[in-house]
Amino acid sequence: MKTTRYFREQVLRKRPYIREEWCERILANPIARAVQPDGRIRWWGTVPEFGNRALRVVTLADGETVHNAFPDRDFEASS
């Protein structure tokens, strides 16, 4: 998985519970996706190992380089 330096040095340090394999799974099979005004892409998925909580993964505009990841308490899947 491709990642930014920010993800490796800041995100994983601040959120050591986040696993890279979770991010990979969400990118491979998201339940929602949205493009930000800056071109970055937000991907959402649920993580069974994390209490089925929603995780937002943000990639660069290429859609594959992970820049950020965090639990998204406000996410609600559309029905």
8 Å CB contact between 23 and 66: yes
Confidence class for position 76, pLDDT limits 50, 70, 90: confident
pTM (2 d.p.)? 0.93
Provide the residue ranges of all domains of the chain, joining segments of one domain with +. 5-71
* pLDDT at 13 (0 to 100): 97
Span 8-62, pLDDT tens digits: 999 999 999 999 999 999 999 999 999 999 999 999 999 999 999 999 999 999 9
Q: Any idea what the Cα angle at residue 16 is, between residues 15 and 22, rounded to 5°? A: 90
What are the angstrom distances between the C-alpha of 55 and each of 11, 50, 65, 66? 13, 9, 16, 13
3-state SS, one letter per residue, for 35-48:
ECCCCCEEEEEEEH
C-alpha dihedral sign at 62, 50, 32, 72: negative
pLDDT of residue 78: 61
